[in-house]
Structure 1
Amino acid sequence: MEKDTEMTDPDALDEQQRQYGHGLVSEEEIDAKYPNRPKNHHKTLPFHALFLTLFNPLNENRKYLGGPAAGRRRLGPHGQTSLTPHEARRNIIERFIARWRQEVGNDIYPAFRLIVPEKDRDRAMYGLKEKAIAKLLVRVLKIDKNSEDAQNMLNWKLPSQNRVGAGSAGDFAGRCFDVISKRPMRTAVGDMSIAEVNEQLDKLSLASKEEDQLPIMQRFYQRMNAEEMMWLIRIILRQMKVGATEKTFFDIWHPDAETLFNVSSNLRRVCWELSDSSVRLGGEDTGISLMQCFQPQLAAFQMHSFAKIVSRMKPEGDDNVFWIEEKLDGERMQLHMMEDPSLPGGKRFGFWSRNAKEYTYLYGSSFDDNEECALTRFIKDAFNPSVKNIVLDGEMITWDMEMDRIVGFGTLKTAALSEQKNRFSDSTGQRPLYRVFDCLYLNGKPLTKFTLRDRRNALNHSVNTVHRRLEIHPYAEATDASEIEPHLRQVVAEASEGLVIKNPRSAYRLNERNDDWVKVKPEYMTEFGEALDCVVIGGYYGSGHRGGGLSSFLCGLRVDHEQIRRGANPQKCYSFFKVGGGFTKTDYDTIKHRTEGKWITWDKKNPPTEFIELGGHAENRQLERPDCWIKPEDSVVLSVKAASASATDQFRMNITLRFPRFKQLRTDKNWKSALSINEFLQLKNNAEKEQREKEFEIDVSKRKKAKITKKQMTVAGNEVLKTPYGGPETKIFEGLTFFILTGCEKPVKNTKAELEQMVKAQGGKIVQRESTLETLIIIADRPLVKVASLQRKGDYNLIRPIWLFDCINQADTDIGRSNLLLPYEPNRHMFFLKADAEFQVEGNVDEYGDSYTRDVTVEELKDIFKDMPSKFESSFSSAHLLDQAEHHDLEIRVLPGFMFHGLTIYLDKASLDTDQTATNGRPVKSVSSNLALSLAGNTIRIGAGKISKDLTDMSITHVIIGEDRSRLRSIREIISGRARLPRIVAVDWVEESWKEKTLLDEERFVSL
């Protein structure tokens, strides 16, 4: 039939209509928008054709991809030469597409929606994750929720409770297959077409309640067998993993498909506009356009030394400048603005995330979106009058106005929703802030082909900073790689994400990672010594190849003598960090052997607070709750190293390790010799002191050159301090005497002197020692020697500085009540509580931790509501947050393809290549050793590592030695003068790391 023949099958016609508003748009309206869209001449293929002819063959071929034989041709069953794995993959996809064109037509959009579901922006998120799907299936299958099969689905990461299904631990869809296989409605494949599946999935995406979702899942169950249900669940979860990416499918469908998707993020457009592979896109169709979401340029992962990164940015002549930007912890966001005379203010806005999710509803569509707008109504002065239309690229972050700093990515949505309700532009609290770092379209002209330097100039001339609403992201110019390290140290100290190094001479390349933008994250450092020895207190079950067993562990710090003296269990630990990288199968087996039978399932209704305190303890939120826990006396001690330590509320210590990695199992230690809370704090304080001393030494030479003017020193007391206090002055603390022992970090960082000045500005009096005054209030926030001494005496309550801020803020809120002093709240305000004051203080909050007198923040109220017993189970889905988490705090080495990234490795083949021969004329050196080194080199390259052939290369991080050790002395002499010595390890380190799919600690493979 001709390509333009009308579809005669109602099923296919409905599918076309559902792509626009689920059947609410007429055929004429579809034709008006896409007049040349392809029309299928027959109904779509059955759903089972997808996995029988596409998914399963691709998965079978997948085992050969990425392996040693990836580029080799395999032999067929009769000895004939077959295709390489890459050729076989293309052949499988080409056959499916050819079949579709022949049997269905040229509109492949219905199939692509199920093949690459994560790229389908027309269908809303289902709001279903594994546990919600499991609950639906329990009801569909009509099985008891407490039965083995139900528990196997609900707790899919845990080992199966029976033999059947034991192999699917960690694979949710596989676990569902095991359960459904026992009670299928059909054993043969079902008769649902691809169009029918799409129709039901459209309905499922619109169903927000379980009662609406249930009949849809029942229909799938009635018309599909177990294997079909397994693939359907993977489609709903958007976790296909079939051994081919969307780029492969796009490239085989049409040569320009990837280009069009990059500029439009529109799967439907790719399928409909590029249905004829012989028709190519014109130049005007390959650039970004207004109000059309595009796939942004991405920063490559650091895989080389700083010097190599800079050298790869291709300096032109004398122009060797590169830019250093802070990597922001927010959500990548593009802003589109165009003229629209129909709107107040004459401008229309559009916002899209990196994953093409539209956020215009949240941040605003015009300058006068007063009802539901978190940003645009505040940025009327952000654009110069000459700007008619513009497209900006940047990061949406959360800015805390009280602390005057960025706060974590997870608070962004809450801050934006709160700002929607705010009627005033001078709010305190948290707000969304758009940091712009690129301009890609201006007054009808795409700028992607211009250099970054030119684009930044266009940005500076077009956009004005609106303080803490829309700001141009700053950068530092540099010409030498040595300038990167100080900036990295600074962002580590500020607990920031890292840096992005950019080439100012580069064009903007859509949906690419290349050497023009490179992200630099802190590597493993040794501020706290080579490693920390901490006791394991909890475990988490894994997924994928780690399914069925504990794959990561919660480590804690044991309490000290002072807490034990006050009645704490000597084995009690505070949660500190989770670690899951660096373990071998042998390590897991050893831990299992030493702890078998001693793990206890975590009961969130009755947590083991006698032994473990988790993050969120003040509100009983049980943050980072493990699947199971273990008593320290039954546990093991792990030696762990990490990049740095940073503040967090996810762990009880309120501090955690960033990118922790297992080093070794300390079988020589037990829980009593593991690190305690005070021992870690001492290590941390010493490290910070050493860092300050280093910074002081660097600054000495600068000070000598400057003229030093001596200033009169004043003793802290009731004199007027030189440190200004910028807040409101009241008499809220009049008549009270304060003894302030420490500064504070929360809610705003203040020194001891600054707190004293703040108290005096509010009418309070300052003293420098404790006394018996009834009006004395002692302020402390850190366990210094004097603080610990007062705690041991037990005669005084010690109050956290946040109480001062709460009193001042409440006085500002309660007009006419400037003398209001808030009662103490046990967890928020009390650093140390006298025994006889416990009952009185606990009566100041209700059972959920809500203050009876203080106005709580939106974030606090949200946490209180979250932990209240609910009449109905929440249907909130965190799917979007999980989708965005991929590029936040990801240690890329957890991916096998990037295992050796950032490492430069020298293979000691020199001794193997000598002319030494035995009497029989054969080489003295072992052929097997040479082969092992060669294979190790291939593995390193596959894992994104770099091989250096020059031992004098200053970027070398590791030297790999084979069986021959004759050159060890000369190697050590060559590298001995370096500030950072490369690690010398045996070739087994490479082989074992690749085998275990994680970078193992080098000390296990040291070559002597």
Structure 2
Amino acid sequence: MAASTSRDANEVTVASKVGFAELCGLLEKISKTQGNDKKKKVLKEFVDIWRNYHKELHGDKPDLVDSFYPAMRLLLPHLDKERLAYGIKENMLAKLMIEVLCLGKDSPDATRLLNFKAPKTARGDAGDFANVAYYVLKNRCPDKGTLAIQDVNDCLDAIANNNAAKKKEPVRKNILHLLKNLSAIEQKWLIRMIVKELKVGLSQASMLSVYHTDAEELYNVNNNLEKVCRLLRDPAVRAHEIGITIFSPFTPMLGERGSPEKVENLMDGKMYFIETKFDGERMLLHKNEEEYKYFSRSGKEYTHVFGSNAFDGSLTPYIANSFKPGIKKCILDGEMLGYHAQTQTYGTKAEKFDIKSSDLAETKGYQACLQVFDILLYNDKVLTNLPLKERLKYIDKVFNTIEGRILISQVKEGHNNQDCADALNEAIDGREEGIMVKNPESVYRPNTRKGGWFKIKPEYIGGLMDELDIVIVGGYFGVGSRAGMMSHFMCAVAVPSDDGEHPQVFHSFCKVGSGYSKKELSDFNKKLADHWQVFDKRNPPDCLILAAGFKEKPDAWIHPSKSCIVQVKAAEITESDKYKTGCTLRFPRVECFRDDKPWFECLSTVELEELRQKSGGKLAGTRYDLDDSAPVKKKRKVISRVVRPTLGSRFKAIDTSNITQISKMLENKEICVINGSEDWPKPELEKKIVEYGGTIVQNPGGETYCILADKIAVRVNNLIKRNIYDIVKGTWFVRCIENETYIPWTPGDMIHISPKTQRKFDEDYDVYGDSYYTDTQEDQLKHVFDKMEKFEDEDMLDNEDIAKIEENYFPDESPYGLFRTCRIYVDNNLVISDASTKIPNSSLDLIGLELRFFGATVSERLDEKVSHVLIDSKDTSRVGQLREVRRRRSKKFNIINEDWIKTCIEEGELCNERKYEPTVTT
């Protein structure tokens, strides 16, 4: 290693003697070496030389601060907690380089720097700013820089500190100092350190293992790179006792993905623990005497929010007295939630609040509440090596619970797969995020997902989540391995056209960038390559409406008619002002590219609003049935010669080569099956169609006889809008199978009737579906009566029709249609003082009249169409029963009190119902 003399002799460290060029040379050599073992060998040689140099300078002094840390923080820049954010983007660096090099603003090199993502200007290095900068600088900079590793670290520390203090000029001066005193190759690696992505082909684990066998394990415990380098300076000294220490942040133990049908195997058939998975922020509470500190999962400190002592913060003053006598030290692991004291409910991320905000109570009415589910330190005793069942016993010894402030997570035992499935369904019904399943024998292992904890959420299980078909309207240039193509996409929903034609306007909705393989992404980019246009906010396209102020805008846009629909799965719909819809998806990922579906059949703004209102934005569409076939992990598709490459696997037909025809009942009839029931799933229906002489297709066409469906999903809705197909209930075909003869359709068999079939029905049936000629069966008569009741209730004009009329003819949003889309059941029996009789609740009767006045449909029965149940706040004894009814229903209803009605009328819009759900009383 060549020594640098840029530091004062009194401040001598290895880093002050080793040139930054040496480190960059190492990185260059590692990046060009093939094979992980060979790369590690190159790094080990550098580390060994560093250690030898360290001995020459300092000997064997035990308490020396100087270590490999200055180099390690540059080799692993993403782990450097001391300078989390530089506030520097590639565009800022490009402008400073243009200034330092005195480049003309319109010169080819300046254009390359400013447009480094664009393939045409950046050429082969599109998306890699560091490489683009290197080729611009290599003929304009010295062959070797003059700065030592310590000099570079000092400048980077100054940049990070001044950025945090919002001092722009010192930041600029330090960047200019680095640019002027480093070679082109050094600046390439400096840029990668600043953007925290080196791209040398060595993982974090590999680099730490080269430094010391125990380095990764120690880092997982304390999250402190400097401490790792200092404590493990000697490779011969092993860290046999790795203890968790007070006020030292570490990455907590994490959960691995799981599913109910695998739990018994995961737990070896033994008892396990089940807990609610809370929708909050993971937080570790450290207490030492009267001092408190709070650390997030990433090791970031939030003591300034929650409080360092009993007189400061949003939480500590309320829980300091809850700790039992004799508790001097402790570390508690839990979830920080937002608790609404009035409604006694917990908020979710869908309600757009940040529990780490210091003014949360004032702005949203929520208070911080810590749900504790583990303990790692009890006074001076480290508990991590104890099994979970033993650790949990200590929690009760530490503090007394305080409602809405600090609680102990409730644990229940599970013994088989069904217990897990039941717990997941309870979480879905309660609109929780999911459940945690834990091995009672598991020890606490920081920063690992392989320790015996499993998280089970609806979005991990196929069929439980509503899948949204949305259209791609924008793209974002990729970087790194995705350079030179669009790596992320802006998706939108359609505004329905008034004339029934294809939609012309689309509202921005979300951004997706995961769920597809690199090959799928590459193929998709090739398909759309000729249709992308640069997005110019001064002249935005008429077909695409973004949020005000262009808070989220793509690098390029594409007309929806030239684009493609993607099927997206997400956890929930959350509020957002970055998109025109006013909401977006949380954790979206692409399930597949819908080549089979035309662009104009994407999700509409009306359908999105229905989803948003359903279950408070949660996208769990149904309950989990353990008897269903277990969902399988998505695998990369292997396309054979006989399969069209544009057809997704879920749309492939069954193999009919081994099916024997037993009847000509459906001869010359082409049928498309969209979905089936539990008893008759889609593959079984398709098999029977072929057995009875019919032909199956996956997409209806001009020769299609009918479409079979059991559920009205998004795809069925889109086919209904086209109004050219007969969509028949699967029960019709099941009747044909059971009777072994073709049975003509009746109006009761139809989900949707084409105009041609409707004309035929008009000749044979009255408006209620009662035949003029044939005898009526019991089930047909029931359908007729139901339809008559519907006609009488709605007087031939339902509330949706009225809502459309209001929208067309009352553009100023008349308040009298506020509850037009709500069907409300008023629970209007109030128990009087002797609890022996009930009298009509006149106050709710008056509210019922007010609801009708503002457009609501007030139902006398708690039928399947009810969207809300109104409970008097003075009598909430039936809330428990109503929740049980709601749990069993596929279509959930909201339970609200009269305050929700008043608030909606005052605000002039439907408010979120969650905080108005009454609590259970006895």
TM-score relative to the length of structure 2: 0.62
Trace 1:132-151 onto structure 2 (pairs within 5 A): 132-143=92-103
- Once the two structures are superposed, residues 875-904 of structure 1 have per-residue CA deviations (whole angstroms, 9 ceiling, x without a partner) of xxxxxxxxxxxxxxxxxxxxxxxxxxxxxx
Q: Is the alpha carbon distance of 1:624 and 1:94 closer, same or farther for their aligned partners in structure 2, counting shifts above 3 Å?
A: same
Structure 1 residue aligned with 2:286, among 331, 336, 344? Answer: 336
User: How far apart, in 1, do the equivalents of 2:174 and 2:414 lie?
Assistant: 59
1:741 aligns with 2:819: yes
Amino acid at match of 1:159: A
Q: Is the alpha carbon distance of 1:753 and 1:483 closer, same or farther for their aligned partners in structure 2, counting shifts above 3 Å?
A: same
1:11 aligns with 2:7: yes
Contact 1:250-1:257 at 8 Å conserved across structures? yes
1:550 aligns with 2:486: yes
Contact 1:416-1:431 at 8 Å conserved across structures? no
Trace 1:41-56 onto structure 2 (pairs within 5 A): 43-53=16-26, 55-56=27-28
Trace 1:791-830 onto structure 2 (pairs within 5 A): none
Structure 1 residue aligned with 2:569, among 614, 638, 642? Answer: 642
Residue 274 of structure 1 deviates from its aligned partner by: 2.7
- 2:188 alignment counterpart: 230
Contact 2:214-2:239 at 8 Å conserved across structures? yes
Q: Is the alpha carbon distance of 1:585 and 1:655 closer, same or farther for their aligned partners in structure 2, counting shifts above 3 Å?
A: closer
Residue 240 of structure 1 deviates from its aligned partner by: 2.6
1:466 aligns with 2:466: no
- 1:201 alignment counterpart: 156
- 2:554 alignment counterpart: 626
Contact 1:388-1:443 at 8 Å conserved across structures? yes
Structure 1 residue aligned with 2:392, among 456, 461, 478? Answer: 456
Contact 2:374-2:392 at 8 Å conserved across structures? yes
1:374 aligns with 2:370: no
Contact 2:16-2:151 at 8 Å conserved across structures? no
User: How far apart, in 1, do the equivalents of 2:350 and 2:575 lie?
Assistant: 12
1:405 aligns with 2:310: no
1:384 aligns with 2:324: yes
Residue 487 of structure 1 deviates from its aligned partner by: 3.3
Contact 2:386-2:443 at 8 Å conserved across structures? yes
- Once the two structures are superposed, residues 273-319 of structure 1 have per-residue CA deviations (whole angstroms, 9 ceiling, x without a partner) of 33223334464xx21122222332222344xx64545434456xxxx
User: How far apart, in 1, do the equivalents of 2:339 and 2:394 lie?
Assistant: 26
Residue correspondences, number: 665
**Is the partner of 2:300 in helix, strand or coil?**
coil
Structure 2 residue aligned with 1:108, among 55, 68, 71? Answer: 68
User: How far apart, in 2, do the equivalents of 1:112 and 1:694 lie?
Assistant: 50
Structure 1 residue aligned with 2:446, among 510, 514, 518? Answer: 510
Residue 357 of structure 1 deviates from its aligned partner by: 2.3
Amino acid at match of 1:671: W
- 2:423 alignment counterpart: 487
Contact 1:639-1:665 at 8 Å conserved across structures? yes
- 1:274 alignment counterpart: 232
- 1:418 alignment counterpart: 359
- Once the two structures are superposed, residues 684-716 of structure 1 have per-residue CA deviations (whole angstroms, 9 ceiling, x without a partner) of 989999948999x99xxxxxxxxxxxxxxxxx9
User: How far apart, in 2, do the equivalents of 1:740 and 1:491 lie?
Assistant: 31
**Is the partner of 1:326 in helix, strand or coil?**
strand
Structure 1 residue aligned with 2:590, among 656, 661, 666? Answer: 661
Q: Is the alpha carbon distance of 1:466 and 1:571 closer, same or farther for their aligned partners in structure 2, counting shifts above 3 Å?
A: same
Residue 550 of structure 1 deviates from its aligned partner by: 1.7
Residue 490 of structure 1 deviates from its aligned partner by: 4.8
Contact 1:527-1:644 at 8 Å conserved across structures? no
- 1:767 alignment counterpart: 849
- Once the two structures are superposed, residues 839-876 of structure 1 have per-residue CA deviations (whole angstroms, 9 ceiling, x without a partner) of xxxxxxxxxxxxxxxxxxxxxxxxxxxxxxxxxxxxxx
Unpaired segments of 5 or more residues in structure 2?
59-66, 627-676, 679-792, 794-813, 831-840, 859-863, 868-894, 913-922
Amino acid at match of 1:226: A
- 2:463 alignment counterpart: 526
Residue 215 of structure 1 deviates from its aligned partner by: 0.8
Amino acid at match of 1:232: L
Structure 2 residue aligned with 1:351, among 287, 294, 306? Answer: 294
Contact 1:254-1:277 at 8 Å conserved across structures? yes
User: How far apart, in 1, do the equivalents of 2:624 and 2:394 lie?
Assistant: 43
**Is the partner of 1:58 in helix, strand or coil?**
helix
Q: Is the alpha carbon distance of 1:442 and 1:545 closer, same or farther for their aligned partners in structure 2, counting shifts above 3 Å?
A: same
**Is the partner of 2:320 in helix, strand or coil?**
coil
1:311 aligns with 2:265: yes
- 1:125 alignment counterpart: 85
Amino acid at match of 1:526: G
- 1:159 alignment counterpart: 118
Contact 1:332-1:396 at 8 Å conserved across structures? yes
- Once the two structures are superposed, residues 947-989 of structure 1 have per-residue CA deviations (whole angstroms, 9 ceiling, x without a partner) of xxxxxxxxxxxxxxxxxxxxxxxxxxxxxxxxxxxxxxxxxxx
User: How far apart, in 2, do the equivalents of 1:382 and 1:415 lie?
Assistant: 22
User: How far apart, in 1, do the equivalents of 2:828 and 2:93 lie?
Assistant: 52
Residue 112 of structure 1 deviates from its aligned partner by: 1.7
Residue 480 of structure 1 deviates from its aligned partner by: 0.7
Q: Is the alpha carbon distance of 1:552 and 1:251 closer, same or farther for their aligned partners in structure 2, counting shifts above 3 Å?
A: closer
User: How far apart, in 2, do the equivalents of 1:352 and 1:595 lie?
Assistant: 45
Q: Is the alpha carbon distance of 1:60 and 1:691 closer, same or farther for their aligned partners in structure 2, counting shifts above 3 Å?
A: same
Amino acid at match of 2:349: G
- 1:92 alignment counterpart: 42
Contact 1:738-1:779 at 8 Å conserved across structures? no
**Is the partner of 1:291 in helix, strand or coil?**
coil
Q: Is the alpha carbon distance of 1:99 and 1:385 closer, same or farther for their aligned partners in structure 2, counting shifts above 3 Å?
A: same
Amino acid at match of 1:59: S
User: How far apart, in 2, do the equivalents of 1:287 and 1:693 lie?
Assistant: 41
Amino acid at match of 1:168: D
Amino acid at match of 1:384: K
Structure 1 residue aligned with 2:544, among 612, 617, 620? Answer: 612
Amino acid at match of 1:236: I
1:436 aligns with 2:436: no
- Once the two structures are superposed, residues 333-387 of structure 1 have per-residue CA deviations (whole angstroms, 9 ceiling, x without a partner) of 2211112xxxxxxx01122223322222222111112xxx222122123312231
User: How far apart, in 2, do the equivalents of 1:149 and 1:392 lie?
Assistant: 55
Amino acid at match of 1:205: A
Amino acid at match of 1:767: L
Residue 100 of structure 1 deviates from its aligned partner by: 1.2
Residue 167 of structure 1 deviates from its aligned partner by: 2.3
**Is the partner of 1:336 in helix, strand or coil?**
strand
Residue 392 of structure 1 deviates from its aligned partner by: 0.9
Contact 1:332-1:354 at 8 Å conserved across structures? yes
Unpaired segments of 5 or more residues in structure 1?
1-6, 17-38, 65-84, 340-346, 699-715, 717-735, 745-749, 771-775, 788-800, 811-820, 832-1008
Amino acid at match of 2:125: S
1:252 aligns with 2:213: no
Contact 2:271-2:414 at 8 Å conserved across structures? yes
Amino acid at match of 2:29: P
Amino acid at match of 2:398: S
Residue 534 of structure 1 deviates from its aligned partner by: 4.0
Residue 131 of structure 1 deviates from its aligned partner by: 4.4
User: How far apart, in 2, do the equivalents of 1:114 and 1:196 lie?
Assistant: 12
Amino acid at match of 1:540: Y
User: How far apart, in 2, do the equivalents of 1:657 and 1:363 lie?
Assistant: 26
Residue 197 of structure 1 deviates from its aligned partner by: 0.9
TM-score relative to the length of structure 1: 0.57
Q: Is the alpha carbon distance of 1:501 and 1:625 closer, same or farther for their aligned partners in structure 2, counting shifts above 3 Å?
A: farther
- 2:686 alignment counterpart: none
Contact 1:501-1:519 at 8 Å conserved across structures? yes
User: How far apart, in 2, do the equivalents of 1:689 and 1:407 lie?
Assistant: 15
Cα RMSD of the aligned pairs, angstroms, is 4.8
- 1:601 alignment counterpart: 534
User: How far apart, in 2, do the equivalents of 1:639 and 1:168 lie?
Assistant: 29
